[in-house]
Amino acid sequence: MRRFILAFAVTALTAAPFAAQAATGKDIFTEQKCTKCHKISAEGIAAQEDKPTIIDLSGVGKDHDVAWFKGWLTKEIERDSIVKKGEKTKHKIAFKGAPAELDTIAAWLKTLTKK
């Protein structure tokens, strides 16, 4: 029994630092390098570069639901172009994260309702 308790204690103490904490939508946004093309001023997230093509996503949650964000990020849907009137466009880069990360970032984007 002592051996079991000792083994359990050693395992618990050595594994604790490696326990993964669930990533937030904000974490995924930065890890996936979304800041190359986007900023979220309302959240204090700056784009990597300040250029005219940067899109501020601060209020994007007002316009779309979670399913739309998932389809948009995976390039399964298209929308009217904001650059070329009358044309349709898809998201520039397909989301490369895990399905759970896609769920998390889509749900987080839906919460962005402040401009």
Q: Which string of b and e fits 61-99 if b means at least 16 CB within 10 Å? A: beeeebebbbbbbbeeeeeeeeeeeeeeeebeeebeeee
Report residues of the chain scoring pLDDT below 50. Answer: 4, 6-10, 13, 15-19
Q: Which string of b and e fits 6-26 if b means at least 16 CB within 10 Å? A: eeeeeeeeeeeeeeeeebebe
Task: Give the tens place of pLDDT for each residue, 83-100.
Answer: 788 999 999 999 999 999
The predicted pLDDT at position 115 comes to 78
The predicted pLDDT at position 82 comes to 80
The predicted pLDDT at position 21 comes to 74
The predicted pLDDT at position 57 comes to 96
Pick among 1.10.8, 3.40.50, 2.40.128, 1.10.760: CATH of 22-110? 1.10.760
Locate the domains of the chain by residue range. 22-110
The predicted pLDDT at position 81 comes to 87
